[in-house]
Structure 1
Amino acid sequence: MADRRMLAALVSGAAIVGLSAGLFFWSQMRGDADVFAACAQGQVAGGMGAIGGDFTLVSDAGETLSSAEALARPSLVYFGYTFCPDVCPLDTVRNADAADLLAEDGHDVQPVFVTVDPARDTPEVMAEFTDAIGGDTLGLTGSAEQVKAAADAYRVYFRVPDSDEEYYLVDHTTFTYLVLPGHGTVTYFRRETPAEEMAERVECFLNAA
């Protein structure tokens, strides 16, 4: 009887140790999910870690940049196009406004505008657009292949019509992604999110990082 009790105690102790180790490694695997748990308000299939990745694009200054170079600071990343008549300008201005609000609280956040229409959005066109938007907005373009690779990494849908017309429209998704150096994409914002709410949520992530 005593031997069985001792064996049971040993087994129980081993189980507790195993459970503790399992919980530890599980928490490590969760990583940013724990760090940013209080800030997250949306989920995507596969988790936020499935959004984003390496890319190479050309800046509005004509410089070829890797994703690490382009997103060296906390960034609000949006995919659109400069010929967009309404949605893209409103969204990019909102992102710049949120960055300005964050700057007032001492946070350096960069709005990033990635075109899905590189045929028309040359670096020169992008520079005119980002200058008009303001807020230290970085414009990124590139070849059709480079743009598609970046869009695919961020799960961005877009469709450029096969048209000879100058003023064609491009269908595309309109999420803005918050990308933090060392963490990657940590959350996203829908276009109806106002600048004040965006700034508040971004600040939560910045303080937790």
Structure 2
Amino acid sequence: MKAVIFGTTTLAAAAAIGLYVWQSTSGTPNPCGTTAIAGSTIGGPFELVSETGETVTDADVITKPTLVYFGYTFCPDVCPLDSMRNAQAAYMLEDQGLDVGTLFISVDPQRDTPEVVRDFTDNFHEDMIGLTGSPEQVRAASRAYKTYYQAHEDDPEFYLVDHSTQTYLMFPKTGLATFFRRDTSPEEIAATTACFMGQLT
């Protein structure tokens, strides 16, 4: 699997997609963590198809603090591991009485029908929302979130897809709060998310 960790490994790479470390006007680091970001253009309106077959917008599915991830269901390792980690973080937050959503957006619309996406997300969290759509809809959502994906269509059935692997923490009213790298643990995601929820909700 050639999954690409895009824009999350170093500050220079992050700057390439418009992310930078947030600091307050006093120059002190954000207490919620060093990956907090501000002033970026990550996120925005999209229209996709939900795992129930309904057309939905970002406003329909990001109704609370939400962990947003772009991947695909045929992914042999990265996407299942990242989705499980995000689900674990959500369960940890639930144990603290905090309501957080998890969202999986497919970058493989050719294979990922609503039914396929639903079966995939149901493996990780009963409330994880899976989204797919037409190639145009998926491309527009990916552009909004500054993600990368590229299918290797050397095999029409078993091809792999290179893609970025950051997870975004999005809020309904304020948008992007921060992002998480692949090596971020569920405990760290839960703690950082709880911190932002204390600031922004």
Q: Normalized against structure 2, the TM-score is what? A: 0.82
Question: Among 84, 98, 109, which residue is 1:118 paired with?
Answer: 109
Change (3 A) 1:43 1:178: closer
Q: Structure 1 residue 34: deviation in Å?
A: 5.0
- The letter of the residue matching 1:186 is A
Give the count of matched residue pairs.
176
Corresponding position of 2:32: 39
SS in 2 for 1:160: strand
Match runs of 1:48-87 below 5 Å: 48-87=39-78
Q: Structure 1 residue 61: deviation in Å?
A: 1.0
SS in 1 for 2:110: coil
Separation in structure 2 between the aligned mates of residue 56 and residue 49 of structure 1, nearest angstrom: 21
Separation in structure 2 between the aligned mates of residue 204 and residue 158 of structure 1, nearest angstrom: 31
Q: State, as a whole percentage, how many aligned pairs show the same letter.
A: 50
Separation in structure 1 between the aligned mates of residue 30 and residue 54 of structure 2, nearest angstrom: 37
Corresponding position of 1:10: none
Q: Normalized against structure 1, the TM-score is what? A: 0.79
SS in 1 for 2:123: helix
Measured against aligned partners, the alpha-carbon deviations of 1:156-202 in whole angstroms (never above 9, x if no partner) come to 01001233431110000000000011110110000110101110000
Relative contact order: is structure 1 or structure 2 higher (C-alpha 8 Å, sep ≥ 6)? 2
Q: Structure 1 residue 133: deviation in Å?
A: 1.5
More helix by share: 1
Question: Among 152, 155, 174, which residue is 1:183 paired with?
Answer: 174
Separation in structure 2 between the aligned mates of residue 135 and residue 42 of structure 1, nearest angstrom: 28
- The letter of the residue matching 1:53 is G
Change (3 A) 1:207 1:66: same
Unaligned 5+ runs, structure 1: 1-31
Maintained 8 Å contact 1:94/1:195: yes
Q: Structure 1 residue 39: deviation in Å?
A: 1.4
Maintained 8 Å contact 1:111/1:135: no
Unaligned 5+ runs, structure 2: 1-21
Question: Among 106, 109, 112, which residue is 2:100 paired with?
Answer: 109
